[in-house]
């Protein structure tokens, strides 16, 4: 029984002495590996807990300091692995999101093209006096004044053709849109 108490006391003394003499150096070592202060503090505490729990496996083949620094290094490696897995998971998620966006964009383009084609078909079913004004206004972004100049029609006639053409077109495209 005394031997168990001595071992526990020795463990507490070794770890306490280490923290007093080398604790800051261990923390700085972990920080130099991780480059993130809060993460370094977490790994520092994990290292001390692991050392306390695994003290019985310490074989005294090297110094206690080297043993603790090796535990710290292994804890850092574990964290890097976790980060790598998390990063890979996030990359895969981003790929899925990007693929969905591309698919959504492709679907949108196809739908717009189909609607555009259907709209042109319906415009072509209108009398020719309305077709020209509607196509120039909506598909070639011409102003009413530009249409008037291009077609040599009075501005009032262009306005009338656009109004009547839109009314007739509206009746034809109700089912499409």
From first to last of the 177 residues of the chain, give the pLDDT tens digit. Answer: 445 556 677 767 777 877 788 888 889 999 999 888 999 999 999 998 888 888 878 787 888 888 889 999 999 999 888 888 777 776 777 777 777 666 667 777 777 888 778 888 888 888 888 888 888 888 888 889 988 888 889 989 989 988 988 888 888 777 655
Burial classification of residue 77, based on how many CB atoms lie within 10 Å of its CB (0-12 exposed, 13-18 middle, 19 or more buried):
exposed
User: CA–CA distance from 22 to each of 18, 29, 48 (Å)?
Assistant: 5, 10, 12
Token pair belonging to 6 = 């001595």
Backbone angles phi and psi of 127, in degrees to 5: -60, 145
């Amino acid at each position: 029984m005394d031997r168990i108490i001595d071992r526990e006391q020795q463990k507490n003394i070794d770890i306490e002495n280490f923290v007093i003499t080398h604790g800051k150096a261990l923390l700085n070592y972990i920080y130099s590996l991780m480059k993130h202060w809060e993460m370094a503090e977490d790994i520092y505490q994990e290292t001390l807990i692991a050392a306390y729990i695994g003290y019985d496996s310490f074989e005294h083949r090297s110094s206690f300091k080297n043993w603790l620094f090796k535990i710290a290094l292994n804890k850092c490696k574990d964290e890097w692995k976790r980060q790598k897995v998390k990063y890979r998971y996030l990359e895969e998620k981003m790929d899925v999101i990007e693929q969905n966006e591309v698919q959504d964009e492709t679907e949108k383009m196809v739908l717009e093209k189909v609607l555009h084609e259907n709209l042109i078909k319906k415009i072509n079913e209108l009398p020719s006096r309305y077709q020209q004004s509607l196509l120039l206004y909506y598909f070639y972004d011409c102003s009413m004044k530009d249409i008037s100049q291009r077609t040599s029609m009075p501005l009032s006639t262009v306005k009338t053709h656009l109004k009547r053409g839109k009314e007739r077109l509206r009746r034809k495209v109700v089912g499409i849109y």
